[in-house]
Amino acid sequence: MSETIVEHQESEAGTTRRMTLNMGPQHPSTHGVLRVVLELDGEFIQKARPEIGYLHTGIEKQCEALNWQQIITLTDRVDYLANLSNNLCYSLAVEKLLGLEIPPKAQWMRVLLAELTRIGSHLVWLGTHALDMGAMTMFFLTFREREELMKLFEMISGQRLMTSYIRIGGLALDPPRGWEKLVRAFLADFPSKIDEYETLLNNNPIWLRRTKGIGVISVESMLDVGITGPVIRAAGIPLDARKMTPYSSYEKFDFAVPTSTDNDVYARYAVRVAEMRESLKIVQQAMDGMPEGPTRADAHRLVLPEREKMKTQMEALIYHFKIVTEGIAVPEGEVFQVVESPRGELGYYVVSDGTAKPLRVHMRTPSFGNLQGLPRLIENRQIADAIAVMGSLDFVLGDCDR
Amino acid sequence: MLSEALLENETIAGLVAAHPTAVLGGVTQFDEITLTIEPGEIVATLAYLKYHQKFDRLSTVTAVDRYPLDPRFEIVYHLQSVGRNVRLRLRASVATEIASATIVYSGANWYEREVFDLFGVVFTGHPNLERIMMPDDWKGHPLRRDFPTHGFKYSYGEQQ
């Protein structure tokens, strides 16, 4: 799992031992396959060098070989804890190129699902982050609630993780009957669960001592290195694409962007917990104000017809056949679509040359930017703090390596 | 050259005034401004935008392979000003190499390594230009358009 190299260095104070410690790529606190090469002086980290690429799956290359619609399934696999945010970002980018108008119900559903995804992702983060610090109970509690969310996703799409539910032009299907009832039950139940997490952690002396005042760097340094999301919001900058460049009707929802000025690991925890509460507010508003109507854009040449129509109408069958066999031609152009994923700024840079396959799909993923800031956050600190800081960055290696 | 609508934009007017030869052209599509920059002046342009126009974030650096055109690579920079809430895209066409933006934005480090790794574009002046995604002994640059998607064999750790 890890190997160590010990070097003896002569200095004026006597012989000091510098140790190179290889952390990962299979270390449990790296949440995936991240390798960090640490140069240690006793307990203190002198130098940290993250090595990524162990989960590089060539998704960007594969995108160039697939049809525009087929790529949806790949976007799920970029950030496997926030698959619907990735679906949404890619769909919005292609819809911008196509000039598609999305019906209000689909937009509302997308907002609702993106926020449920955010809650689900934050639950995984909270459970594993607390587990890293020795608070094992949190893991069981958060995964208990996440299971309810997984059931909701399974019910609408048939899949727990790789939902591919948000498609170009709207949604894959209408949500089934009875789904709303389950969402409302979750909404009624979940606030008390957040309180439960807070009772376990907010006054826990071990938790407080391991998180307060840890992992602080200047805001300018964060901006410069590319850190986004809850981490930079915990440093006092309200950088949130939902407010700054609203997409998919976010401007019609009333919510706050939680920030903190403490800039430490605890502040990042507090911001994410506050975000879960804000997400619940958005989900509640989306449920209450859900418009009636179709969930797919009215563009028969670009969007697959409903199953019922396809089986009964000749034209629908022809268009279905043409879309599936030839794909859709997207007009020439380029677009950089940004959404706020649970981890930070998620951007899809999509370039089309007018054919049925994209010329280039680049994903600006939040984990890549956040991980780049890791050395600055942990250098000259103790090795135990590195675990706390890495947890607070909340990276997903699939998202980082693509 | 630049249209009048673009020149009314204060940022672009300022950039053209400060570096008259840097901007080769510009377009607006879907409310996104793209400026084509002379590759030799990319660092000066980025420095001007960061220090005089408050573009404090470099969101991403990537490349587009326009094979078989020559020069084939477009290096694309996405900038954001958090305070002003504006985004800007810069583009520079190069054949093999371009100056590194790490002097201006240190966050460009990994993005440029990724472009070097996957496209083979060399960033001169980069502090640590190594492969980041692919194995160190990998041959070729997978995101080039003339690199095959299938059929490429690589032995992971086996004896050669």
- At residue A6 the predicted structure's pLDDT band, cuts being 50, 70 and 90, is low
For residues B64 and B36, the answer to whether their CB atoms sit within 8 Å is no
pLDDT value at residue A12: 59
Q: Which of A51, A67, A87 is the last residue before a domain boundary?
A: A51
Same domain, yes or no: A337 and A252: yes
For residues A73 and A329, the answer to whether their CB atoms sit within 8 Å is no
Instruction: Report CB contact under 8 Å: B30, A244.
Output: no
Same domain, yes or no: A30 and A144: no
The domains of chain B, with CATH numbers, are 4-96 (3.30.460.80)
Could you give the CA distance from residue A41 to residue A36 in angstroms, rounded to a whole number? 16
What's the pLDDT tens digit per position in A354-395?
888 999 999 999 999 899 988 988 888 888 888 889 888 888
Same domain, yes or no: A169 and A259: yes
Same domain, yes or no: A112 and A182: yes
Instruction: Report CB contact under 8 Å: B82, A351.
Output: no
pLDDT above 80 for A270: yes
Q: What is the mean pLDDT of residues B87-94?
A: 92
Q: Write the residue in A60, A244, A364 that is nearest to B85 by C-beta.
A: A244
The A residues from 265 to 294 touching B (CB cutoff 8 Å) are none
Q: Which of A34, A51, A68 is the last residue before a domain boundary?
A: A51
The DSSP code for A103 is P
- CB proximity A359 to B under 8 Å: yes
Q: How many domains does chain A have?
A: 2
Sign of CA pseudo-dihedral A228, A230, A232, A237: positive
pLDDT value at residue B24: 85
Same domain, yes or no: A83 and A135: yes
Residue A216, both tokens: 């602080």
Spell out which residues of chain A touch residue B143, defining contact as CB-CB under 8 Å: 60-61
Q: What is the mean pLDDT of residues A228-245?
A: 90
Q: What is the mean pLDDT of residues B41-65?
A: 90
What's the pLDDT tens digit per position in A151-205?
999 999 888 888 889 999 889 888 888 889 999 999 999 999 999 999 888 888 8
Same domain, yes or no: A75 and A163: yes
Domain span at residue A69 reads: 59-401
Same domain, yes or no: A26 and A131: no
Same domain, yes or no: A43 and A191: no
Same domain, yes or no: A24 and A69: no
Residue of A nearest to B33 (CA): A335
pLDDT above 80 for A26: no
Instruction: Find the CATH number of the domain harbouring A227.
Output: 1.10.645.10
Same domain, yes or no: A116 and A218: yes
Average pLDDT over chain A reads 88
pLDDT above 60 for A11: no
Alpha helices in B42-153 (DSSP H): 42-52, 108-119
pLDDT value at residue A23: 83
Residue of B nearest to A59 (CA): B143
Q: What is the mean pLDDT of residues B90-106?
A: 91
pLDDT above 90 for A338: yes
Same domain, yes or no: A73 and A41: no
- CB proximity A25 to B under 8 Å: no
What's the pLDDT tens digit per position in A84-112?
999 999 999 999 999 888 999 999 999 99
* This prediction's pTM: 0.90
Residue reference for tokens 């020069």: B71
pLDDT above 50 for A2: no
Same domain, yes or no: A44 and A157: no
Which positions ≥6 away from B113 have C-beta within 8 Å? B126, B128, B129, B130, B131, B132
- At residue A1 the predicted structure's pLDDT band, cuts being 50, 70 and 90, is very low
Residue reference for tokens 């587009």: B64
